[in-house]
């Protein structure tokens, strides 16, 4: 709730948090916040325009030597997770394995320079990898076209992110509701997992939605390759067990991949029918743009915008969570720019779309990452891997890569969260389930459209049906409270008091008028509308108040408006509604409004305006 101007009085319906201790304030004074503001000894230095746009210019000169050890440990820990996951996600995106490392390098370095979060790592993820594959598969015609259009999509996503950030559209991070996002990612995880099972058992299955692929896998189980299945399921079992037995600091994915590579090379698994990754060039990526036409870019735009919405909803949620936990600030618009630069960096190196990674960010936080230096160190280790160590992974079985992907998306099968949503609000659970089934039954992009549409419909539906409780006088005080939550509150005699718990705008203007009509039917002498929680009034809201005036005036019912903020009053003045009601019928408190209406010589309004 955005409060209006301060109005003294006993009826202010707000809660004030606990006062901060001296120790907490001192801790804050030593913090270097994410947007580049440095605070020392209680004095805050305002960041320059360069530091706001390029946060590394703020934090790097103030880097403390004591941060080196935790940042090095965090950087190497995330590198150990990144290498196997990036190669697996490249396969998920339909790209060569090495492009996962290229994407990771470009993304990590780009975000480290422009990002405002100290803990969040941006890189290849299962969510955007499968979204990228779905977007490109719908328009690409050949393998070369597919690779070029995947790279172009990463660049396009980056440009859209940067444009949104420069236009200060960071508020879109709250557009997709969390229950819908939970359902969407749950369905996405199921789709990703079923796509990888064929690699684990060594069979080929036709394309289709989740249910079609699942049925096909069941039918092909008798054709499963024994050696491949053993390798795949043992790898998956070890990875899933390690989630329970070890902390995120232990890079089990890297250990499993390294072990599989050594065993594969030693026993020549490829000669026994086990599919392996194959040749991976040990060469640094070159900077370049995708070779696609303008028409191809136009076709990719809807998918790019969808990816931006999902990627930012996930990524910003991660960065905001760690910022709150470690008590520093982030800038949503700068986060959009930084994620955009990360995608552009990935695309310029020949990679695919990227976003914030919860698993890698959690690993960085668990190992004590202090700054974005951990990201730069991880980027340096990734660069060394690309230049020297990629041939090591040529004997990696595809079944192990499939196991790595399934283990990575295992956290999206959030049955506990779905159960919690069911217990809290059934409508939210229905929306989450619809998003889940949309992804599984119709398709990834179609499911994304359903998820976004559901969020929008939920937003409009709830905005159009705001709470407008009846208020009553609390005995012995001049305060008023909802009779629903305070049964002891006494309704004023012949005066009806209601409170609008929402902005007064187009979505609820008609509902507001209907509520007033219900009160008019009770034949009161006066109506007090408490607008203290109204932080926004638009033209439709002003017209709704005008209609209320036109309803009550002929009936001789007085109307008082309490606690409307200055912005709302200004809108009513411009619409002519303020003068229609009359300045004397606007009150600083509910109590003064009730007393004013009772003391009025006669109910009604000035009709000469």
pLDDT digits (tens, 9 = 90+) for 523-572: 899 999 999 989 889 999 999 999 999 999 999 899 999 999 999 999 99
Three-state secondary-structure class, residue 536: coil
Tell me what percent of the residues of the chain surpass a pLDDT of 90: 43
User: Are both 115 and 98 inside the same structural domain?
Assistant: yes
Asked if residue 248 and residue 184 are part of one domain, the reply reads yes
Same domain, 431 and 536: no
Q: Domain for residue 15, yes or no?
A: no
Task: Please compute the mean of the pLDDT values over residues 21-47 and round it to a whole number.
Answer: 43
> Please, is 461 exposed, middle or buried when counting C-beta atoms within 10 Å of its C-beta (0-12, 13-18, 19+)?
exposed
Overall average pLDDT of the 144-152 stretch:
91
| pLDDT at residue 175 in the model | 63
Give backbone dihedrals phi and psi of 431, rounded to 5 degrees, phi first. -65, -40
Backbone angles phi, psi at 40, to 5 degrees: -145, 130
Domain that holds residue 81: 65-461
| 37 shares its domain with 72 | no
| pLDDT given for residue 456 in this prediction | 80
H helices present in 349-474, as ranges: 358-366, 373-384, 398-409, 415-424, 426-441, 444-463
Please measure the distance between the N-terminal and C-terminal CA atoms of the chain and give it in whole angstroms: 34
Selected residue with higher pLDDT from 48 and 526: 526
Give yes or no for residue 603 having a pLDDT over 50.
no
Q: Is the pLDDT of residue 17 over 60?
A: no
Residue 564, domain CATH: 3.30.750.24
CA–CA gap between residue 182 and residue 432 (Å, rounded): 7
Give the three-class secondary structure for 58: helix
E strand or H helix that includes residue 43 = strand 43-45
pLDDT over 90 at 108, yes or no: yes
Last residue of a domain, one of 12, 42, 59: 59
State the pLDDT at residue 9: 32
At which of 413, 441, 461 does a domain end? 461
* Model pLDDT, residue 45: 58
Residue 333 lies in a domain: yes
pLDDT reading at 50 higher than 60: yes
Mean pLDDT of 389-398: 87
- Least confident piece of the model among 30-39, 273-282, 563-572: 30-39
Question: What confidence score (pLDDT) does residue 312 get?
Answer: 87
Contacts of 49 (CB under 8 A, 6+ apart): none
358 three-class SS:
helix
Q: How confident is the model at residue 22 (pLDDT cuts 50, 70, 90)?
A: very low
State whether 385 and 514 are in the same domain: no
Q: Do both 397 and 546 map to the same domain?
A: no
Question: Bigger pLDDT: 456 or 594?
Answer: 594
Higher pLDDT, 382 or 477: 382
What is the rounded distance in angstroms from the CA atom of residue 353 to the CA atom of residue 549?
55
The answer to whether residue 88 scores a pLDDT higher than 90 is: no
Structural domain count of the chain = 3
Please give the structure tokens belonging to residue 543. 């017209």
Residue 167 makes CB contacts below 8 A (sequence gap 6+) with none
In a domain, 3, yes or no: no
52 & 76 share domain:
no
Q: Say yes or no to pLDDT of 434 above 80.
A: yes
């Amino acid at each position: 709730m955005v409060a209006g101007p301060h109005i003294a009085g006993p009826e202010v319906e707000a809660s004030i948090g606990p006062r901060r201790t001296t120790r907490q304030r001192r801790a804050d004074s030593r913090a270097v916040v994410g947007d580049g503001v440095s605070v020392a000894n209680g004095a805050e230095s305002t960041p320059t325009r360069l530091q706001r746009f390029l946060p590394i210019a703020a934090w790097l000169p103030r880097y403390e030597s004591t941060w080196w050890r935790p940042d090095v440990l965090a950087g190497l820990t995330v590198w150990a997770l990144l290498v196997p996951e990036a190669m697996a996600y490249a396969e998920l995106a339909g790209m060569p394995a090495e492009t996962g490392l290229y994407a990771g390098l470009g993304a990590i370095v780009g975000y480290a320079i422009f990002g405002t979060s100290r803990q969040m790592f941006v890189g290849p993820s299962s969510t955007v990898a499968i979204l990228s594959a779905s977007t490109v598969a719908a328009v690409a015609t050949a393998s070369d076209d597919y690779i070029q259009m995947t790279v172009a999509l990463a660049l396009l996503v980056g440009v859209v992110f940067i444009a949104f950030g420069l236009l200060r559209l960071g508020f879109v991070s709250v557009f997709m509701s969390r229950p819908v996002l939970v359902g969407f990612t749950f369905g996405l995880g199921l789709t990703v997992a079923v796509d990888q099972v064929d690699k684990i058992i060594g069979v080929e299955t036709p394309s289709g939605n989740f249910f079609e692929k699942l049925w096909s896998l069941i039918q092909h189980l008798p054709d499963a390759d024994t050696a491949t299945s053993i390798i795949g399921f043992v790898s998956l079992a070890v990875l899933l067990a390690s989630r329970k037995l070890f902390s995120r600091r232990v890079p089990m994915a890297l250990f499993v991949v390294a072990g599989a590579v050594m065993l594969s090379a030693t026993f020549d698994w490829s000669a026994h029918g086990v599919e392996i990754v194959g040749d991976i060039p040990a060469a640094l990526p070159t900077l370049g743009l995708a070779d696609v036409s303008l028409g191809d870019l136009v076709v990719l735009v809807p998918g790019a915008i969808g990816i931006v919405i999902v990627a930012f909803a996930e990524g910003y949620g991660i960065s905001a969570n760690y910022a709150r936990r470690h008590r520093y600030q982030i800038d949503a618009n700068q986060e959009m720019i930084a994620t955009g630069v990360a995608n552009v960096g990935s695309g310029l190196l020949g990679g695919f779309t990227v976003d914030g990674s919860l698993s890698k960010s959690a690993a960085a936080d668990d190992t004590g990452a202090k700054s974005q230096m951990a990201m730069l160190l991880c980027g340096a280790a990734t660069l060394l891997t690309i230049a020297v160590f990629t041939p090591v992974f040529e004997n990696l079985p595809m079944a192990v890569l499939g196991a790595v992907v399934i283990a990575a998306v295992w956290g999206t099968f959030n049955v506990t969260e779905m159960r919690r949503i069911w217990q809290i609000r059934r409508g939210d659970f229905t929306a989450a389930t619809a998003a889940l089934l949309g992804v599984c039954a119709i398709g990834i992009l179609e499911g994304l459209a359903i998820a976004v549409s559901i969020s929008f419909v939920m937003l409009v539906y709830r905005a159009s049906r705001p709470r407008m409780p009846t208020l009553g006088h609390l005995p012995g005080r001049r305060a008023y409270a909802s009779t629903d939550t305070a049964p002891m509150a006494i309704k004023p005699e012949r005066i009806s008091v209601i409170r609008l718990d929402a902005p007064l705008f187009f979505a609820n203007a008609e509902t507001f008028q209907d509520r007033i009509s219900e009160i008019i039917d009770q034949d009161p002498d006066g109506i007090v509308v408490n607008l203290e929680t109204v932080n926004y009034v638009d033209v439709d809201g002003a017209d709704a108040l005008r209609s209320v005036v036109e309803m009550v005036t002929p009936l001789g019912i007085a109307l008082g408006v309490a606690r409307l903020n200055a912005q709302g009053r200004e809108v009513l003045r411009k619409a002519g509604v303020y003068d229609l009601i009359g300045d004397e019928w606007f009150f600083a408190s509910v109590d003064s409004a009730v007393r004013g209406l009772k003391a009025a010589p006669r109910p009604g309004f000035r009709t000469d305006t």
